[in-house]
Amino acid sequence: MDRQVKVAVLDDYQGVALDFADWSILEGRADVKVFRDHLSDPDKVGERLKPFDVVCVMRERTPLPRSIIEKLTNLRLIVSTAGRNASIDMDAAKERGITVCGTPSTSHGTVELTWALILVVMRNLLAEVASVRDGKWQVAVGDDLQGKTIGIVGLGKIGARIANIARAFGMNIVAWSQNLTPEVAREHGVRLVSKEQLFRESDIVTLHLVLSPRTKAVVGAAELKLMKPSAYLVNTSRGPLVDEEALIEALKSRTISGAALDVYDAEPLPESHPFRSLKNVLATPHIGFVTQEVYKIFYRGIVEDIAAWLDDNPIRVINS
């Protein structure tokens, strides 16, 4: 290409994209523009991205459906962090001859955040920290993990690691998913139960499924009604796995004790959303994968992919 390609790097919330990789290897070949703000309006997204040959997305923060892709007449390459992105219309990209590629990834950050959320809600840490800051002392009585039952919905790569850590805490571990077999459950030292049993028996239910038409709203009003009044729901996977309105109602009515959430139907979470104000919700801003190590992997992978594409070298294509 005779001119520099125009590269858009989207949703750099913390303003660190240029710090986590050596972008100088693209110097003279690519004009890189980083956007820190997030656009939710598809029309505004399409208008912003019209000039760009390359669009780099951070996971599913900015979806690229057909309606947007068809407006981007200059677009030739989409780079998504990680190796899968359900928010990109792969068929539309393929029809337009747009290459879609991914980067290496790791899931340990999500595993660690899941346990951070569990520990915070079980020991009432936010209230205790606030009390100390206010010049006071103990205000609540926390609960143990030892001897409690954790229900893992989805025993894949992340769910299996959750189970390993639960074992170290001395917890009883049950699991369920549509595809989980007794052999896989035994391999991980987990008791396979029905969906109903899992929600009925668990003190903590944690979700670790890939979002698909089959798993959307896999947790609804019926499942929440089965849970103990003392139980917590934890979701660090994808927001639409849970029927959001049913969860809000369960939290308001105290059908369950509370929820620890890192993912939502709409992100960023609207300012007036109940999850921001409900007393029995611990809400974090989708930071499961947001660690320094992961960002290094992601942004270095983006640079490598763009350089390889410019050089006509093999890249990590995910739409072929």
Domains 5-105+291-310 and 108-283 share a fold: yes
Residue-wise pLDDT tens digits, 32-69:
999 999 999 999 999 999 999 999 999 999 999 999 99
Average pLDDT over residues 184-205: 97
Superfamily of domain 108-283: NAD(P)-binding Rossmann-like Domain (3.40.50.720)
| pLDDT computed for residue 315 by the predictor | 85
Q: Which of 15, 90, 100 is nearest to 56 (CA)?
A: 100
- As given in the structure block, the two tokens for residue 127 are 């209230």
- As given in the structure block, the two tokens for residue 158 are 């992340």
User: Which amino acid, 171?
Assistant: M
Element (H, E) at 73: none
Confidence grade of residue 152 (pLDDT, cut at 50, 70, 90): very high
Average pLDDT over residues 115-142: 97
Average pLDDT over residues 96-122: 97
Do residues 30 and 5 lie in contact, with contact meaning Cβ atoms separated by under 8 Å? Answer: yes
Q: What percent of the chain has pLDDT over 90?
A: 96
- As given in the structure block, the two tokens for residue 110 are 């999500």
Residue 319 has pLDDT above 60, yes or no: no
Residue 121 has pLDDT above 60, yes or no: yes
Do residues 83 and 293 lie in contact, with contact meaning Cβ atoms separated by under 8 Å? Answer: no
Residue-wise pLDDT tens digits, 13-35:
999 999 999 999 999 999 999 99
The CA distance from 78 to 98, in Å, is: 7
Element (H, E) at 91: helix 90-95
Query: So where are the chain's domains?
Result: 5-105+291-310, 108-283
Element (H, E) at 281: strand 281-283
Element (H, E) at 223: helix 221-226
The CA distance from 117 to 119, in Å, is: 5
Q: Which of 208, 171, 168 is nearest to 288 (CA)?
A: 208
Residue-wise pLDDT tens digits, 263-313:
999 999 999 999 999 999 999 999 999 999 999 999 999 999 999 999 999
| pLDDT computed for residue 320 by the predictor | 41
Residue predicted with more confidence, 315 or 255: 255
- As given in the structure block, the two tokens for residue 67 are 């309606």
| pLDDT computed for residue 2 by the predictor | 66
| pLDDT computed for residue 317 by the predictor | 84
Known catalytic residues are: 238, 267, 286
5-105+291-310: CATH topology is Rossmann fold (3.40.50)
Average pLDDT over residues 200-223: 97
Residue 153 has pLDDT above 50, yes or no: yes
Helix 157-168 with 108-122: angle, nearest 10 deg: 40
Helices (H) and strands (E) in the chain, counts: 11, 12
- As given in the structure block, the two tokens for residue 145 are 């993990």
What is the average pLDDT value for the chain, to the nearest integer? 96
